[in-house]
């Protein structure tokens, strides 16, 4: 149980275009999902917290107009990288916690999306 | 700011040996800790967790130790196998915060 699915797994786009990444919880509902970014050989850095039915909460230094988050249902959150630039190339990973679980329970991660901006 | 960090960036062990991966944390307000395993090109995979009211927890071939006095967390893997080769991250959950904060990671290399 507690599977998080992320799509696409890889995407290559041209500079200036936008890319949408989907994150789905397959067997549980999640009012909150978390988007992380990981650069090569580095750790995961929290970008934003996606809240179902309300605005996302962004970490300091993350541009909300560049990384648009929509959490339209209890099983789907999307991250759109707008006007992508080469420096946005990274590994984006979403995660969620079964809403029935308390905060002291594991986050379940998707398999990530490798974004390359040319 | 307060953060979670690791002592060793790379650990190389022989197949069959026991592995110990260490993690130091600085936030005394953290009340929950998790170890994740990440293979190349994949998302983190849950290994084991521990709450701050415990000092030891065992799973299958893995043990997590928590020393709150010195703010230290370790992951012990018994009889390490080639399939254990990956990057291991500790993560902490600050009291009342929903997201996890990750440490810098340790790469475990298992030599056959």
All residues of chain A having their beta carbon less than 8 Å from the beta carbon of residue B98 are: 32, 34, 49, 97, 103
Q: How far apart are the C-alpha atoms of A52 and A42, rounded to whole Å? A: 29
pLDDT for residue B112 is more than 60: yes
A2 pLDDT tier (thresholds 50, 70, 90): confident
All residues of chain B having their beta carbon less than 8 Å from the beta carbon of residue A49 are: 98-99
Domain B4-111 listed as CATH 1.10.1200.10: no
| pLDDT value at residue B9 | 87
Mark yes or no for CB contact B98/A110 under 8 Å: no
Average pLDDT over residues B90-111: 90
pLDDT for residue B12 is more than 80: yes
Give which of A118, A117, A101 is closest to A25, Cα–Cα. A101
| pLDDT value at residue B3 | 46
| pLDDT value at residue B87 | 97
pLDDT for residue B8 is more than 70: no
List Cβ neighbours of A117 (8 Å cut-off, separation of 6 or more). A12, A13, A14, A15, A84, A85, A86, A87, A88, A89
Judge contact between B84 and B17, C-beta under 8 A: no
Average pLDDT over residues B56-61: 97
Burial of B94 by CB count in 10 Å (0-12 exposed, 13-18 middle, 19+ buried)? middle
| pLDDT value at residue B1 | 36
B25 pLDDT tier (thresholds 50, 70, 90): confident
Average pLDDT over residues A72-92: 96
**Dihedral sign, Cα of residue B29, residue B75, residue A2, residue B100:** positive
B2 pLDDT tier (thresholds 50, 70, 90): very low
CA distance B16 to chain A (A): 26
Residue with tokens 């329970």: A105
Mean pLDDT, chain A, rounded, equals 94
pLDDT for residue A56 is more than 90: yes
pLDDT for residue B49 is more than 90: yes
Question: B97 CB near a chain A CB, below 8 Å?
Answer: yes
All residues of chain B having their beta carbon less than 8 Å from the beta carbon of residue A42 are: 104-105
Average pLDDT over residues B52-71: 96
């Amino acid at each position: 149980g507690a599977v998080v699915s992320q799509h696409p797994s890889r995407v290559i786009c041209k500079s200036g275009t936008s890319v949408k990444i989907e994150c789905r919880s397959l067997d549980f509902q999640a009012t909150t999902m978390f988007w992380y970014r990981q650069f090569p050989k580095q750790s995961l850095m929290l970008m934003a917290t996606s809240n179902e039915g309300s605005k996302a909460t962004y970490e300091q230094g993350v541009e909300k107009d560049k990384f648009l988050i929509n959490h339209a249902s209890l099983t789907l959150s999307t991250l759109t990288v707008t006007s992508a630039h080469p420096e946005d190339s990274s590994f984006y990973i979403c995660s969620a916690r079964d809403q029935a679980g308390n905060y002291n329970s594991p986050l379940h991660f998707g398999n990530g999306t490798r974004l390359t901006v040319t | 700011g307060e953060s979670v960090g690791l002592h060793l960036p790379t650990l190389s062990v022989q197949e069959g040996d026991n592995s110990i991966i260490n993690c130091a944390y600085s936030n005394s307000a953290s009340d929950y800790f998790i170890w994740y395993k990440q293979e190349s090109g994949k998302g983190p995979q849950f290994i084991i967790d521990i709450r701050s009211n415990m000092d030891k927890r065992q799973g299958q071939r893995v043990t997590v130790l928590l020393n709150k006095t010195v703010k230290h967390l370790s992951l012990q893997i018994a009889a390490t196998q080639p399939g254990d080769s990956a990057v291991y991250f500790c993560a902490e959950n600050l009291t009342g915060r929903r997201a996890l904060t990750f440490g810098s990671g340790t790469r475990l290399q298992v030599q056959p």
